Amino acid sequence: MVFLALLTQPSYAQQFPETDRQKAEEMRERAKEARKKADREATDEEYKAMIEQTPKASKKVDPWGGLRGATGK
């Protein structure tokens, strides 16, 4: 019976709670992900605002139109 208890010790030792260092690392990782998400959202907002400010082209522009003759394309 004692021998069986000694065999289970290594697996039990791996189940200790996280240390303060591991918790701090996890918190830093979460903060980093939150900053990335906020940056992505801000970039998306700026892009949408820029697109809304850009005037819509109502007529297609042909930059070579003056060089071509009236006969065409």
For the residues of 12-69, what is the DSSP string, one character each?
HHTTPPPPHHHHHHHHHHHHHHHHHHHHHHHHHHHHHHHHHHSPPP-S---TTTTTS-
More confident residue, 49 or 55: 49
Residue 18: predicted pLDDT: 72
Residue 5: predicted pLDDT: 66
Residue 2: predicted pLDDT: 67
- Average of per-residue pLDDT across 30-54: 96
Check pLDDT > 60 for residue 7: yes
Q: DSSP secondary-structure letter at 70?
A: T
What are the CA-CA distances from residue 53 to residues 23, 44, 50, 57, 58 (Å)? 45, 14, 5, 12, 15
More confident residue, 11 or 51: 51
The amino acid sitting at 29 is E
Please tell me the pTM assigned to this model. 0.49
